[in-house]
Amino acid sequence: MEKLNFRPLTENEIECRVGNTTSNGFFLLLYKNARVDANILDETFGIFNWQKRFYQVKNTMVCEILINANYKNPELEPRWIAKADGGDDDTQMEQVKSELSDSFKRAAFCVGIGRELYYSPKIYIKTTDDNTTKARYSVKQITYKADKRIERLVIINDKTKEIVFTYGVKENVAQNVENEPKNAEPMPKPTPNEPVGSIEPHDLALLQDYVDALPSEPSRENFYKWIDKHFDTMALAKLTRSQAKAVVKRLNLES
């Protein structure tokens, strides 16, 4: 059987859910549901050339996906190749159904469906009146490179239709080559003679959350170069109180 080559997921096949939260924002995670997996398996192999089986290992529900290696040669006897994974129920309602669905989705990842989501950038949304953990979000646009890694990603707020996150082309502050916003006001001058490391814990947490949410290591390196250019240090914890306030204001991180 040749290497399986599933097509990448489209915008309407990807869902967003809230992950970890911070003091002034939250992260979104991209995921697929079991219906998407079943549709792609049908589309790729036909409804008679794959099947799923469930069984339990101790208290874990396991799904096994079997694919007919001879699906392109219907005159041959079926030759079943299997991949399996266990489910993890994180809800209290309809526990068995949830475990079945989760184990199926995990097994589908094993055969290759939706693996491109593993390489999603960190999606950080700053909390506003409209953008909260209770709002719903959708993938407006997604494109992929030849190796199926995400090249461009745009996410919107379902209610306001506002773009809340972009990745790829048109990256925002601290993600471009120079790491400084174009046509912006000069960096505010910090108060002189402040002790090194007097940054307030709240501001340190804001800046660290911002850095953690940047989509790649090069963009993080560029951010620290930008800090070094203005303040002669690449350590956030060594910023003075007013230096940190200046950076927080420039990046619009104030709550």
Tens of pLDDT, residue by residue over 35-47, are: 999 999 999 999 9
- What pLDDT is stored for residue 157 in this prediction? 93
**Interstrand relation of 25-31 and 50-57 (parallel, antiparallel or unpaired):** unpaired
What is the model's pTM?
0.61
Of 114, 113, 134, 116, nearest to 125 by C-alpha is: 134
C-alpha distances (whole Å) from 43 to each of 39, 97, 185 are 6, 24, 53
For 147-195, how does the pLDDT look when each residue is reduced to its tens digit (9 = 90+)? 888 989 999 999 998 889 988 854 443 333 334 444 344 555 666 678 8
Lowest mean pLDDT across 105-119, 166-180, 221-235, 240-254: 166-180
Residues 6+ apart with CB under 8 A from 125: 25, 26, 27, 28, 131, 137, 164, 165
β strands within the chain, DSSP E:
15-21, 25-31, 50-57, 60-68, 80-86, 123-126, 137-144, 150-157, 163-167
Q: Which structural domains are found in the chain, ordered by start?
A: 11-166 (3.30.390), 171-250 (no CATH)
Token duo for residue 72: 């392109």
Residue 61 pLDDT level (bands cut at 50, 70, 90): confident
pLDDT of 124 > 70? The answer is: yes
Bigger pLDDT: 141 or 178? 141
For 234-245, how does the pLDDT look when each residue is reduced to its tens digit (9 = 90+)? 888 888 888 888
pLDDT at 17: 94
Burial 41-58 (b: 16+ CB within 10 A, else e): beebeeeebbebebeeee
139 by DSSP, 3-state: which? Answer: strand
Q: Write down the pLDDT at residue 250.
A: 81
* Higher-confidence position of 68 and 248: 68
| 112 backbone φψ class: left, alpha, beta (φ>0; ψ -120 to 50) | left
Q: Which of 56-60, 125-129, 145-149, 179-183 has the lowest mean pLDDT?
A: 179-183
